[in-house]
Amino acid sequence: MGSNLLTLTFLLPLVGSALVLLVPRESAGRACRWVNLLVTAATFAATLAVWSAWSAAKPASGEYALVEKGTWIPAFAIHYHLGVDGVSVVLLLLTSFVSLGASLASWNVEKSPKGYHSMFLLLLGGMIGVFMALDLFLFYLFWEIMLLPMYFLIGIWGGTRRQYAAIKFFLYTLAGSVLMLAGIVLIWIHHGTFQIPEIVAIAQSGGLFASTGSPALLRLLCFVGFFVAFAIKVPLFPFHTWLPDAHVEAPTPISMILAGVLLKMGGYGLIRMAYPFFPDAAEAAKGWVVGLSLAAIVYGAFVAMAQTDFKKMVAYSSVSHMGFVTLGLASLTSEGVNGAMYMMLAHGTISPMLFMVVGVIYERAHHRDLDRFGGLLWVMPKYGGLAAFGIFASLGLPGLSGFIAEMSVFLGAFQRFPVWTLLATVGMVVTAAYYLITLQKVYLGETPRVYQDRAHYPDTSLRELLVLVPLAAITLYMGLLPDGIMSIYRADLDGIVAGVRDVAKVTLPR
């Protein structure tokens, strides 16, 4: 079952992208929607099959399952090399799950439907490939494949400042990609391999760049290159400024994917490459990483509080929440790193839900001004209830996934950085404040007369419920039964962390 399962999984959306282009123009709107939805559903089913096959294989910690490997470009030792571990599996499930909801959210796209749905599926194929690639050249190829469709999806189907936002997104991501590519080339020049498992093995033996005159300096420079590339994608302060513009201008389904999946690729890159490749450099730079993480958490929360645009507020909240990911990774404790991973997954479902909440009311009101709403819970009770659920999940209410993620990060980070971790609680308090203010301002209180017209402000449709309810359900499940998800990736993640700590000679306080 697993012999070509990974190839099939990423090829499904790529083939679907080509099929959309073959749809006759006169029936493009309806047919493209169905092709997108069916292909995305099939991709979700394929990732479930990957999970099932990986679970059946029961690979040991640190080993990959369902491996597909063959020589691709022998002159440069480049291989077609795919495989998954627990970390990859949960992110594949997140990717296909969020994309399925985004496909449903794309149902009403009318502008150039063939181009939109083709770019959507091409983006999905690239995202799937990133989490499977075990060859750095192949990883970089999938990483760049994602860039173009996202650029066009924002630049063509976005809001009034879409071209500015798309170019800014493209330039930021491309700058990071160039830095990462420089590090990849340096590794290949010195060690003649692009294989991620081989590079990790060399790093754990202390041999990365060992034959050079100053290996520690080279490792530090390469770590900075990889770290900045992935920090841009996270996005970590001060590399975050592309994100609010991209979110505000992107159509709702693309904001869902951007927040739910693309930001997680930065965290995945840090877990899979930056820290395992350069453990001593990562430990040497921990002060900077913690400082930037704290800045992201607190600064992002305060800036979110200052926003009057509903979508921009949710965008800045992503900057704040993703700061917990890099804080947890910097701790190099089992609790902190597992919490960082859980934050990626929790934010990966909560944030798309909130962007869909914004999209639902924008379709009716045609604006996102927080000061012009009021009492929507009384006019749209199902919508208001789901919106309140998403808000409470994002502010970290106990019983929901955000709380588990934040507490895990704090428990891990406090062991190594007690003062800085306590300062990060400022961000939590401010987050609770601006979300509760938003809840009161938009959904409670007195309803302005303009929003009392139920003909123009109908409650959530069946399609909208099919997007929001599954996201709410997984958020609740992850909050009540966190071990159901953590058990998938914990052993592999603990193995990665232990390897990094051993090489970096990190001693944890008892």
CB 141 within 8 A of CB 80: no
> Count of alpha carbons within 13 Å of 440, Cβ hemisphere only?
6
pLDDT higher at 97 or 59: 97
Name the residue with tokens 């571990």.
85
Quick: pLDDT tens for 442-500.
988 777 766 666 667 888 899 999 999 999 999 999 999 999 999 999 999 999 998 88
Closest CA to 88 of 489, 490, 500: 489
CA distance 267 to 103: 24
The two three-digit tokens of residue 268, written as one number: 């995945």
What is the pLDDT, as a whole number, of residue 2?
44
Quick: pLDDT tens for 41-70.
999 999 999 999 999 887 777 789 999 999
What are the backbone angles phi and psi of residue 66, rounded to the nearest 5°?
Answer: 55, 35
When the pLDDT of each residue in the chain is averaged and rounded to a whole number, the result is 90
CA distance 285 to 325: 16
CB 356 within 8 A of CB 464: yes
> Would you place residue 111 in the very low, low, confident or very high pLDDT band (cuts 50, 70, 90)?
confident
pLDDT above 90 for 254: yes
Its pTM stands at 0.92
CA distance 323 to 237: 8
What is the pLDDT, as a whole number, of residue 237?
87
